[in-house]
Amino acid sequence: MIDLKAKWIAADWGTTHMRAWAIDEQGEVLAYSESNEGMKDLQQNEFEPVLLRLIENWLDNKKITPVMACGMVGARQGWVETPYLKTPCVPIDKTQLTVATTKDTRIQVNLVPGVMQHKPADIMRGEETQIAGFIKENPSFNGIVCLPGTHTKWVNVKAGQIENFRTFMTGELFGVISNKTLIKHSIKSDGWDQASFEDGVIKGFDNPGLIASDLFSLRSESIVNDLDSNSARSILSGLLLGVELNGAKNYWKNKNVIIIGSELLSKNYQKGLKILGGESHSFSLEAATLSGLTSAYIELYSE
């Protein structure tokens, strides 16, 4: 095994997954590790052991290695609850980082706070770091950042600050409907049909008030007209995205939209926007996360 000693460690700890990167003196990634031990599966006293299993080989016994962590690790159910910054605000404020208590003296774990909005009430944890990373790479950007995921965020960024944002539970709804409702019998596949997806986007966008009826129609179509499961799954995805894009149109209509998410989700959102006449460009999720955590590290340790 190669002996790697990190200058510092970046960590993105979400609800279901955890990722960590060893960073060297020049800011380059030395190594990467991941785990499916997300926040939802851990008790408070289990976070440090999980982290150490992933990063043990990167630590120098003769010094303290900083760990910069973002995401649900700072939630009320996480390692240590971090206070929220309140909009309008910079995505990351080094004075508001929370230090987690650790038994291992070789690490200092700094948790990035989330961001809250009072009206309409909304919260984010993790996405603020990705926004910070994008702004670091694009300091003059003013526009909309969309972060698709289980809970998709549409964020208005102006002069380096998060002005306001809106969350849509589209990803979670897709999972629940696919696995917990009668529609699950019609979409027993992981296949894809682009034309069906596009039809779903248009239908969901044009008639969001009919979504409850259109969802039932998916089951009916599979029984009455032999709609195949690939098409049904694609229509479902399109319908839900179309409804979201209708609700979020004030964020993307005639706006400069940057999409930061997984490759698959980013492509779907770009396709959905294009169908409806919107324009967007994608930015790497990993690059945004690392850039944001790097920015926080430099601010905290450069003095």
Q: What is the pLDDT of residue 1?
A: 45
Amino acid in the structure at residue 285: L
Q: What is the pLDDT of residue 2?
A: 55
Is 208 exposed, middle or buried, given 0-12, 13-18 or 19+ CB atoms closer than 10 A? middle
Q: Tens of pLDDT along 122-133?
A: 999 999 999 999
Q: 8-125 belongs to which CATH class?
A: alpha beta
DSSP string, 86-102: ESSB-S--GGG-EEEP-
Q: What is the pLDDT of residue 189?
A: 76
143 phi and psi angles, rounded to 5 deg: 165, -155
Q: Tens of pLDDT along 173-209?
A: 999 999 999 999 999 878 899 999 999 999 999 999 9
Say whether pLDDT at 161 is over 70: yes
**Tokens 């992981």 appear where?**
190
Average pLDDT over residues 29-40: 96
Q: What is the pLDDT of residue 303?
A: 60
Query: CB of 254 within 8 A of CB of 143?
Result: no
Average pLDDT over residues 289-299: 96
Token digits of residue 209 = 């008030």
* Residue 4: pLDDT band with limits 50, 70, 90: confident
Domain with CATH 3.30.420.300 in the chain: 8-125
pLDDT above 70 covers a percentage of the chain that reads 99
- CA dist 16 and 39 (Å) reads 6
Say whether pLDDT at 247 is over 70: yes
Q: Based on C-alpha coordinates, what's the Rg of the chain? A: 21
Check: pTM over 0.85? Answer yes or no: yes
Average pLDDT in the chain: 96
Fold that domain 168-284 belongs to in CATH: Nucleotidyltransferase; domain 5 (3.30.420)
Say whether pLDDT at 81 is over 70: yes
Domain with CATH 3.30.420.310 in the chain: 168-284
Q: What is the pLDDT of residue 220?
A: 97
Average pLDDT over residues 98-123: 97
